[in-house]
Amino acid sequence: MSILRVLTGITTTGTPHLGNYVGAIRPAVAASRQAGVESFYFLADYHALIKCDEPARIHRSTLEIAATWLAAGLDPARVAFYRQSDIPEIPELTWLLTCITGKGLLNRAHAYKAAVDRNAAAGDEPDADVTAGLFMYPVLMAADILAFRAHKVPVGRDQIQHIEMARDIAARFDHLYGEHFVLPEAVVDEDVALLPGLDGRKMSKSYDNTIPLFLPREELRRRIASILTDSRAPGEPKDTEGSALFQIFQAFAAPEETDALRNAYADGIAWGDAKQLLFERIDRELAPMREHYRALVAEPARIEDALQAGAARARAIATPFVRELRQAVGLRSLASLAVAPTAAKAPARQALPSFKQYREADGRFRFKLLDADGTLLLQSRGFANPRDAGGAIAALRTSGDTALPDVAPMLEALPPGIEAETVNAALRRLADGA
């Protein structure tokens, strides 16, 4: 059974606020720690360009968002954490997908339709101020997902249609060119708290009612003091129902703490005191992260290094896969043309070598390559996690011996009596036959 691959993108515009933290960042970081999943989280900076043409803001926001996710506990050793624009295979795949995507499908995308409706309402041309980038948004997003054969894509409700489009696009490609893609599924977390903002409406940049995540402590206190409450005096019982303050508290507190606040409301706690409790509770969770965030932002080169390592990991998957897709659509080396007719006439296929992946008593994950008759051809060293072992296998399987130099550091010496050329030939046969 293959490992569940989970992938999601984070658009790099704006500064993260408490609503983003509770609704997206915190649950995603927790999910990335689950065993048995292989997570891909990336900064969707190509998508950010669709919404923003200010280079300094794009740059700053990329830094802040990367630092936020790392400070919130995303572990780049467990999760492939990378920047979309560091993966040239994504725009490359975007084009392959663009060429098979119906324009009519894109006409139906909510974001595009909303823009057209706004123009109609204003009496403008239907496409006034609509860029081709906005129109193509769903194809770029499909490439993000499909390039990594992700199974599950955690997103907000507003993104479900995009995942459905990615499935449609993948199915169309596969119909034309053979089976290549995993059809992704959207995962929408129904339990996740929708945080109210200062005025009680949903916390959102567009309502200007947010509490930025890493405000200095005293500014956080001031923001919290500005949460709208009713005019009940100290001593008067207060309603938890409809209280933004209570809901925000609940999103951070353990159930016992929430019960205690509920009792305090019934006992007529003064709003000022309730705000102080909320401030202390949030600050308790955020203070260590805030420290970490400040340290990261002060050393952007460290973040860059982490992103580059993430990109290398992501490309170890995307590069051979997109190579396979180029082959599939006919973007092929001409040198292969001469051998094609003979290959077509080739006699019944030779049985192929195979990989075996397993876990040993030391808890590490290994694989070996066996020839069709069971002869051991390659033996890997132990990997700390199954994803890395799987990644190495995938690279060898799709790229054959050309992947060997990359994988070599994780291999044991050749088994006695096995020549390098035997292994190379077996890997090539496997890649050609795959």
| Minimum distance, C-beta of residue 213 to ligand TRP, in the bound complex (Å) | 17
Q: Which stretch binds ligand TRP (CB under 6 A): 137-145, 197-205, 271-279, 316-324?
A: 137-145
11 binds ligand TRP (CB under 6 A): yes
Q: Return the residues of window 25-44 that contact ligand TRP according to CB under 6 A.
A: 44
What is the rounded CA–CA span in Å between residue 309 and residue 318?
Answer: 14
8 binds ligand TRP (CB under 6 A): yes
Q: Which stretch binds ligand TRP (CB under 6 A): 8-16, 302-310, 363-371, 388-396?
A: 8-16
In the complex with ligand TRP, the residue whose CB is nearer, 18 or 155, is 155
In the complex with ligand TRP, the residue whose CB is nearer, 8 or 210, is 8
136 binds ligand TRP (CB under 6 A): no
Residue type, position 198, single letter: L
In the complex with ligand TRP, the residue whose CB is nearer, 64 or 144, is 144
Structure tokens at 283: 């600050």
149 binds ligand TRP (CB under 6 A): no
In the complex with ligand TRP, the residue whose CB is nearer, 83 or 397, is 83
144: Cβ–Cβ under 8 A, 6 or more apart, which residues?
A: 7, 9, 42, 44, 84, 90
Closest by Cα among 366, 362, 355 to 411:
366
In the complex with ligand TRP, the residue whose CB is nearer, 18 or 44, is 44
In the complex with ligand TRP, the residue whose CB is nearer, 89 or 144, is 144
Q: Which stretch binds ligand TRP (CB under 6 A): 1-9, 174-182, 293-301, 386-394?
A: 1-9
In the complex with ligand TRP, the residue whose CB is nearer, 11 or 354, is 11
Structure tokens at 170: 């993948």
47 binds ligand TRP (CB under 6 A): yes
| Minimum distance, C-beta of residue 85 to ligand TRP, in the bound complex (Å) | 12
Q: Which of 50, 90, 115, 145 binds ligand TRP (CB under 6 A)?
A: 145
179: Cβ–Cβ under 8 A, 6 or more apart, which residues?
A: none
Give the interface size with ligand TRP as a residue count (CB under 6 A).
12
Q: Which stretch binds ligand TRP (CB under 6 A): 3-11, 28-36, 104-112, 318-326?
A: 3-11
In the complex with ligand TRP, the residue whose CB is nearer, 81 or 355, is 81
- With CB atoms as reference, the residue minimizing the distance to ligand TRP is 9
| Minimum distance, C-beta of residue 349 to ligand TRP, in the bound complex (Å) | 38
Give residues in contact with ligand TRP (CB under 6 A).
Answer: 7-9, 11, 44, 47, 141, 144-145, 153, 155, 159
